[in-house]
Amino acid sequence: MSFLFSNRSSKTFKPKKNIPEGSHQYDLLKHAEATLGSRNLRQAVMLPEGEDLNEWIAVNTVDFFNQINMLYGTITEFCTEISCAVMSAGPRYEYHWADGTNIKKPIKCSAPKYIDYLMTWVQDQLDDETLFPSKIGVPFPKNFLSVAKTILKRLFRVYAHIYHQHFDSVMQLQEEAHLNTSFKHVIYFIQEFSLIDRRELAPLQDLIEKLGSKDR
């Protein structure tokens, strides 16, 4: 949520996705912000009583997009075609881009290019009213959960790239506490609803265990 970030972080990589004020989803977002403010993240990610799971996942997915959007926006000057010629998360993990429509066969590309493709693709999904309905009473499609899982899986890769390739820059900017809190929030949410396969989390597994152990 935006209150996690300093003024320096107000630059976003892509335009922020806003949830319409006065809508039920906006109320849900405010509930999430209030519980997040309590600093008990395990509790903050739980489905509020009487709420629809798809709607809760939708609201949080939009919020996570905005968070990673801001975080990546702070380090774009360090993530270049030269410094990050491939989209990687350390030496063992490399990501190739495909979206199934415009680019059907995975292509190898630089990290800034990959993240641009990824964030544009996510934005398109979030803006699609048939996938992410913002009006009350409009049902979520049957494939909503699988789309949300793909979005979160791909957003995770941006965190993985930042941690592995740009953490020094994050520390220079004094944004590491914001990055850790944001990432922890995403991970707890993913774990609460089993949204990403454990194998996909492998590039940051040690960090996930370390962040989780602090709450035990």
DSSP character at residue 91: T
Measure the CA angle with vertex 181, ends 58 and 205; round to 5°. 85
Q: Which two tokens stand for residue 88?
A: 């990687």
Burial class (CB in 10 A: 0-12, 13-18, 19+), 159: buried
185 is in an annotated binding site: no
Are 214 and 188 spatial neighbours (Cβ–Cβ below 8 Å)?
A: no
166 is in an annotated binding site: yes
Are 74 and 50 spatial neighbours (Cβ–Cβ below 8 Å)?
A: no
**Can you say which residues are annotated as belonging to the binding site?**
79, 84, 161, 166
**Can you say which residues are annotated as belonging to the binding site for Zn(2+)?**
79, 84, 161, 166
